[in-house]
């Protein structure tokens, strides 16, 4: 989860294989291109908010080629349709192999958040005669929490969604998790592999044991970690977003064989009964290409970004009255968040932007609502003056190390400048 | 300070981070202020006032809903205690 999480707040008016898959070229693979120069990203820009892209350069080429050969509806019986179907099947095989699952367990949905909401719906619907209660951590993606709250409100029963507290690092409280699962009528448990805002990994193994002991399937949101961290092993239903591994926006829903899962509006012929539309094939191909590219360099990329994030954490920690939040070690390699006292989130994002840095923020003033990030709030850490960095894949941003070095140098003076403007220096 | 005496700081209608800045400014100017009741409508204050207390070594006593706003009650540590808490 990442800056594409719009938050949980109402509107203002209201085991996979650790070895990389073989880098078999996809049918449309071209020659290895140079990373493209984006007209909107002149050389002086430093990309430090890569939660939503950009595309891996090879996936970009694949997408371009696939638009020409894979445009047809794969459900059609003519030659163009059959070709699109073959390309879609191939994309599914690549992702299934990468995730260590069977192709029949993998469905494509229009987006990661849509796939996550569907994942929960399918477990709940299949168990509707036993209950309707969902257990989720308080830092789950809004695609879990917002519909869950809405269902509970509609039923007039707040107990239908249990939001399990987290510690100051954002890690779910396993004692409270076990207690929430023990309540009668609990049919779904949802936990992220790691939090996309603060980077903290969740204890999936133990969380799934506790859920399994109650006969409750575990939905794991891996939208922030796939392609960046090891593929999670402890799940019954897994959700990803191709953007996290350098692909286009595309939801991936994996339902492990044997897990009771049913979508109320399923048409059996579409994506194994888990989606209402067949995906646009070029997106699936680009997602598969990005997976192959990213998986082949994942260990090196993780090491590179982990040490860069460590440098940012050290620099931010040395800024007066600034807290770096999230677990310092047991975390995603490429995400770091910090908050500075007396700093306006909108002002600090603007100051970094003028200095050439694209960064995100979980502060209230930077969102469309007055509410700050539900993740920071649940952790009990400062929500104002928040800056979030999501490092791009090294293949996407060859200047990454230089960008981070520049950010480390700019960090303290930029925060000090915002404080001086607000007249809060020395408070 | 006199026990039971509270200083009220009205930050209603002000957006984050202003309520916390005004609280910090009051404590900066009057380190022996004792108990402060901050009135705020900004929802971020519910998270940021306790976080500020933790970072500054002050004691967050309670949050009360009072109609269209909330009241956050803070016991300000004496300067020597606050320094130790940082």
Residue found by looking up tokens 């971020």 in the block: B44
Q: Which one has a higher pLDDT value, A16 or A40? A: A40
Contact B50 A384 (CB under 8 A): no
Find chain B residues with C-beta within 8 A of A371's C-beta. 43-44
Q: Which of A292, A279, A251 is nearest to A71 (CA)?
A: A279
According to CATH, where is 3.90.1150.10 located in chain A?
298-422
Find chain A residues with C-beta within 8 A of B23's C-beta. none
Give the model's pLDDT for residue B85.
Answer: 45
Distance CA A71, CA A276 (A): 18
Distance CA A230, CA A299 (A): 9
Contact A372 B47 (CB under 8 A): yes
Q: Name the band, by pLDDT with cuts 50, 70 and 90, for residue A12.
A: very low
**Neighbour tally for A386: CB within 10 Å:** 29
Hey, what CATH class is A298-422 in?
alpha beta
Which residues is A46 bridged to in the sheet? A357
Give the model's pLDDT for residue A104.
Answer: 97
Cα–chain-centroid distance for residue A126?
Answer: 26
DSSP state of A17: -
Strands A237-241 and A218-221, by their bridges, are parallel
Sign of CA dihedral A168, A169, A171, A175: negative
Find chain B residues with C-beta within 8 A of A376's C-beta. 47
Is there a contact between A260 and A123 (Cβ–Cβ < 8 Å)? yes
Comparing A28-32, A263-267, A420-424, B15-19, the range with the smallest average pLDDT is A28-32
Is there a contact between A98 and A112 (Cβ–Cβ < 8 Å)? no
According to CATH, where is 3.40.640.10 located in chain A?
66-295
Distance CA A130, CA A260 (A): 12
Spatial CB neighbours of A116, under 8 Å, sequence gap ≥ 6: A141, A143, A144, A219, A221, A223, A239, A251
**Residue B82 pLDDT more than 70?**
no
Is there a contact between A384 and A347 (Cβ–Cβ < 8 Å)? no
pLDDT digits (tens, 9 = 90+) for A252-293: 999 999 999 999 999 878 999 999 999 999 999 999 999 999
**Residue A411 pLDDT more than 50?**
yes
In this prediction the ipTM stands at 0.88
Give the model's pLDDT for residue A148.
Answer: 97
Residues 353-392 of chain A whose Cβ lies under 8 A from any Cβ of chain B = 363-365, 370-372, 376-377, 380-385
Say what the pTM is: 0.91
Contact B28 A384 (CB under 8 A): no
Distance CA A271, CA B27 (A): 61
Is there a contact between A249 and A242 (Cβ–Cβ < 8 Å)? yes
The single residue of B6, B7, B16, B82 carrying the catalytic annotation is B16
Residue B26 CB burial class (10 angstroms; 0-12, 13-18, ≥19): middle
Count, residues in chain B: 86
Q: Is B16 a catalytic residue?
A: yes
SS3 A361: coil
Is there a contact between A108 and A273 (Cβ–Cβ < 8 Å)? no
Find chain B residues with C-beta within 8 A of A426's C-beta. 28
Spatial CB neighbours of A42, under 8 Å, sequence gap ≥ 6: none
Distance CA A137, CA A204 (A): 12
Return the exposure string of A250-281: e unless at least 16 CB atoms fall within 10 Å of the residue's CB, then b: bbbbbbeeebebbbeebeeebbbbbbeebbbb
SS3 A260: coil
pLDDT digits (tens, 9 = 90+) for B22-79: 999 999 999 999 999 999 999 999 999 999 999 999 999 999 999 999 999 999 998 6
Residue found by looking up tokens 């070029």 in the block: A282
Alpha-carbon distances of A32 from A62, A64, A395, rounded to whole Å: 10, 13, 12
Q: Which of A305, A392, A335 is nearest to A54 (CA)?
A: A392
Contact A370 B44 (CB under 8 A): yes
Rg, Å, chain B Cα set: 12
CATH code for residues B6-80: 3.30.110.40
Q: What is the mean pLDDT of chain A?
A: 91
Give the model's pLDDT for residue A25.
Answer: 62
CATH code for residues A66-295: 3.40.640.10
Contact A323 B43 (CB under 8 A): no
Residue A34 CB burial class (10 angstroms; 0-12, 13-18, ≥19): exposed
Is there a contact between A337 and A198 (Cβ–Cβ < 8 Å)? yes
Tokens found for residue A213: 């002991």
Option in A343, A382, A426 nearest B51 (CB): A382
Give the model's pLDDT for residue A53.
Answer: 80
């Amino acid at each position: 989860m990442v800056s594409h999480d719009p938050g949980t707040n109402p509107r203002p008016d209201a085991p996979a294989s650790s070895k990389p898959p073989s880098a078999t070229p996809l049918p449309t693979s071209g020659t290895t291109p140079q990373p493209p120069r984006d007209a909107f990203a002149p050389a002086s820009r430093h990309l430090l908010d890569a939660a939503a892209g950009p595309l891996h350069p090879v996936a970009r080429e694949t997408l371009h080629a696939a638009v020409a050969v894979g445009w047809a509806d794969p459900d059609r019986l003519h030659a163009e349709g059959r070709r699109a179907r073959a390309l879609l099947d191939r994309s599914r095989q690549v992702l299934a192999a990468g995730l260590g699952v069977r192709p029949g367990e993998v469905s494509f949905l229009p987006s990661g958040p849509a796939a996550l909401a569907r994942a929960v719906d399918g477990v709940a619907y299949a168990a509707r005669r036993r209950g309707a209660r969902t257990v989720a951590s308080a830092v789950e993606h809004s695609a879990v929490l917002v519909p869950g709250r809405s269902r509970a409100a509609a039923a007039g029963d707040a107990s239908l969604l249990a939001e399990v507290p987290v510690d100051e690092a954002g890690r779910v409280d396993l004692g409270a998790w076990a207690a929430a699962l023990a309540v009668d009528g609990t049919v779904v448990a949802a936990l992220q592999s790691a939090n996309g805002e603060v980077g903290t990994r969740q204890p999936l193994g133990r969380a799934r044991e506790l859920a399994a002991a109650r006969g409750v399937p575990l939905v794991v949101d891996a939208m922030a970690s796939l392609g960046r961290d090891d593929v999670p092993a402890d799940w019954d239903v897994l959700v990803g977003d191709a953007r996290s591994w350098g692909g286009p926006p595309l939801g991936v829903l994996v339902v492990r064989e044997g897990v009771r899962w049913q979508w109320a509006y399923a048409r059996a012929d579409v994506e194994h009964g888990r989606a209402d539309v067949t995906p646009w094939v070029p997106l699936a191909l680009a997602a598969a290409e990005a997976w192959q590219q990213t998986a082949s360099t994942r260990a090196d990329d993780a090491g590179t970004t982990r040490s860069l994030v460590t440098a940012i954490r050290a620099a931010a920690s040395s800024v007066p009255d600034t807290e770096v939040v999230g677990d310092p070690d047991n975390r995603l390699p490429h995400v770091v968040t910090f908050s500075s006292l007396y700093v306006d989130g909108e002002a600090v994002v603007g100051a970094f932007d003028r200095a050439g840095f694209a960064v995100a923020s979980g502060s209230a003033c930077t969102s469309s609502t007055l509410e700050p990030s539900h993740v920071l709030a649940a952790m009990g850490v400062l929500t104002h003056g928040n800056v979030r960095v999501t490092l791009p894949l090294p293949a996407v941003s060859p200047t990454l190390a230089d960008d981070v070095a520049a950010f480390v140098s700019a960090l303290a003076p930029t925060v000090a400048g915002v404080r001086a403007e607000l007249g809060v220096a020395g408070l | 300070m006199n026990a039971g005496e509270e200083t009220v700081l009205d930050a209603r209608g002000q957006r984050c981070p202003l309520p916390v800045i005004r609280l910090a400014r009051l404590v900066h100017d009057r380190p022996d202020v004792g108990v402060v009741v901050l009135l705020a409508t900004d929802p971020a204050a519910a998270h940021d006032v306790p976080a500020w207390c933790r970072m500054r070594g002050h004691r967050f006593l309670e949050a009360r809903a009072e109609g269209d706003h909330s009241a956050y009650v803070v016991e300000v540590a004496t300067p020597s205690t606050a320094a130790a808490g940082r």
